[in-house]
């Protein structure tokens, strides 16, 4: 059978995505009950990080250990990738030695090229264009707190970035509506918006996006790799802050998510994470469970 990768949310069918999400909820329960479940004894995860990470690294490494396997952390500083060894050659070599690979990198085509030359499943741990593992955790969190995704309205406020792109894919796959509010010039790719216009709508203001929505999500205004634009972004995004007053315009049962790390006083107010509608700590924890379910799915 062909090797399955997870480079975007489109790599799994809607039924497969739901299977992974429900398995994540089950694995979480098993862990809470102290069940020892080690299907990956002797298996190794290779983790290539070209950008910083707290949640992604810890969740993959801990998840692999809990499954009885192990993980290797690889950074460009101490591998030949950082000295110019081609991605294709690195993929051929690394995938002969490990059982599954996770990559966090810059251009999305780097992970596509790696996957094309890999013998084992490759998971996207974030690229400039997509962050599908985070969305798995977000969807699991929504299901746990509010049930079905189908027919719901989600609001994306802020940058039309990698997280926003993955939310667009999720809306398409799992049948919810996404309203997107970004400052002019920071919207998602217009071609993507046209392709997904059945499930994703660009609106003008943060208020337009959140009106009656069931989930409000945002992210940093300056993503990794965009540090030079930080001060201009701070000015341009000023009216796109999520705070309890903005949340009051959403559905009365709305919840708030942020993939973290968060910048209090920028994309969220100082008090937003203390608001009872914020579920960000559950969301962060679910990275662990969702990725364990994903690895189990890809390696079976």
Binding-site entries: 53-56, 80, 104, 131-134, 162, 219, 223-224, 259-260, 287
Q: Is 161 in the site for ligand NVA (CB under 6 A)?
A: yes
Residue 193's binding partner out of ligand NVA, ligand CP, none, with CB under 5 to 8 Å set by partner kind: none
Q: Is 224 in the site for ligand NVA (CB under 6 A)?
A: yes
Q: Where are the alpha helices (DSSP H) in the chain?
A: 14-32, 55-66, 87-94, 108-116, 132-146, 162-174, 190-195, 206-210, 230-236, 244-247, 280-298
Say how far apart CA 152 and CA 158 lie, in whole Å.
20
Is 287 annotated as catalytic?
yes
Q: Is 220 in the site for ligand NVA (CB under 6 A)?
A: yes
CB atoms < 10 A from the CB of 92, how many? 14
Q: Which of residues 258-287 bind ligand CP (CB under 6 A)?
A: 259-260
Q: What is the DSSP string of 147-198?
A: ---TT-EEEEES--SHHHHHHHHHHHHHT-EEEEE--TT-SPPHHHHHHTTT
Residue numbers belonging to the annotated binding site for carbamoyl phosphate:
53-56, 80, 104, 131-134, 259-260, 287
Residue 219's binding partner out of ligand CP, ligand NVA, none, with CB under 5 to 8 Å set by partner kind: ligand NVA
Q: How far is the CB of 159 from ligand NVA (least distance, A)?
A: 7
Candidates 52-60, 205-213, 243-251, 290-298 — which segment interacts with ligand CP by CB under 6 A?
52-60
Catalytic residue (one of 259, 277, 289, 291): 259
Among residues 287, 218, 276, 224, the alpha carbon closest in space to that of 252 is found at 276
Q: Which residues pair with 177 in a beta bridge?
A: 153
Tell me if 221 sits within 8 A of 186, measured CB to CB: no
Pick the binder of ligand NVA from 163, 215, 216, 295 (CB under 6 A).
Answer: 163
Q: Which of residues 113-132 bind ligand NVA (CB under 6 A)?
A: 126, 131
Is 131 annotated as catalytic?
yes
């Amino acid at each position: 059978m062909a090797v399955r990768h997870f480079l975007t949310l489109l790599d799994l069918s809607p039924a497969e995505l739901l299977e992974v999400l429900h398995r994540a909820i089950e694995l979480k329960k098993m862990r809470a009950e102290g069940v020892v479940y080690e299907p990956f004894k002797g298996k190794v995860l290779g983790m290539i990080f070209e950008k910083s990470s707290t949640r992604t690294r810890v969740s993959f490494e801990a998840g692999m250990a809990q499954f009885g396997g192990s993980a290797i952390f690889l950074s460009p500083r101490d591998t030949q990738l950082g000295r110019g060894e081609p991605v294709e050659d690195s993929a051929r070599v690394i995938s002969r030695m490990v059982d599954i690979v996770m990559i966090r990198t810059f251009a999305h085509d780097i992970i596509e090229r790696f996957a094309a030359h890999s013998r084992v499943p490759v998971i996207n741990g974030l690229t400039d264009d997509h962050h599908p593992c985070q969305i798995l955790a977000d969807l699991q969190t929504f299901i746990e707190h509010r049930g079905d995704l189908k027919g719901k309205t989600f609001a994306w406020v802020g940058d039309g970035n990698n997280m926003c792109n993955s939310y667009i894919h999720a809306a398409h796959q799992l049948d919810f509506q996404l309203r997107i509010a970004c400052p002019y010039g920071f919207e998602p790719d217009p071609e993507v918006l046209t392709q997904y216009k059945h499930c994703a709508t660009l609106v003008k203001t943060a208020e337009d996006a959140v009106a009656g929505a069931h989930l409000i999500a945002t992210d940093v205004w300056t993503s990794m790799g965009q540090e030079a634009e930080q001060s201009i972004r701070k000015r341009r995004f000023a009216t796109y802050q999520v705070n309890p007053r903005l949340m009051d315009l959403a559905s009365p049962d709305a919840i708030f998510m942020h993939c973290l790390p968060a910048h209090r006083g920028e994309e969220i107010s100082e008090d937003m994470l203390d608001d009872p509608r914020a579920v960000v700590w559950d969301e962060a924890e679910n990275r662990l469970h969702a990725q364990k379910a994903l690895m189990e799915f890809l390696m079976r």
